[in-house]
Amino acid sequence: MQHPTVDPVLLKHAEMLNAINIADPIATVRYDLMSDALIWSDETTPSMPFELISSLRQVFNYRTHLIRGTKIGDTSVWDYYSSLFPRWIGFVPNRRTATPDLLELYQRGDVSTRWCLRGLERESETDAG
């Protein structure tokens, strides 16, 4: 039986994700604004459908909460996805373990995002006033 909150796009593309199972030794990690998460460059492919990348945002975000040591929602969805496409490189243990570099990268991205949003907020208040 399917978990009620499972994204059908991730279910549809589980085989594609399982095929992304070899780490690129020169993979880079970046902060992604759309998912408020850290993403490694080898976790997606150029041919990956946009709908799949969009759906992966929830997985990236959950994993980033694991890295940060913060609790978020129900772990059963994470557990389900890790059983659905367990060979996907995004589930390897070192990509969900906190390191000073990963925490700093997340913090820089988060602070930059908040700074930009405050600037946009001030700009819209000025335009409205």
Give exposure, 63-97, as e/b (b: 16+ Cβ within 10 Å).
bbbbbbeeeeeeeebbebbbebbeebbbbeeebbe
Statement: residue 10 has pLDDT above 60: yes
What is the model's pLDDT at position 91? 96
pTM to 2 decimal places? 0.84
Q: Phi/psi class of residue 73: alpha, beta or left (left: φ > 0; alpha: ψ in -120 to 50)?
A: left
What is the model's pLDDT at position 84? 93
What is the model's pLDDT at position 116? 76
- pLDDT, tens only, 66-109: 999 997 777 887 888 999 999 999 999 999 999 999 999 999 99
What is the model's pLDDT at position 62? 92
Of all residues in the chain, the percent with pLDDT exceeding 90 is 68
Higher pLDDT: 4 or 15? It is 15
pLDDT band at residue 113 under the 50/70/90 scheme: confident
| C-alpha to C-alpha distances, 52 to 12, 23, 49, nearest whole angstrom | 9, 19, 5
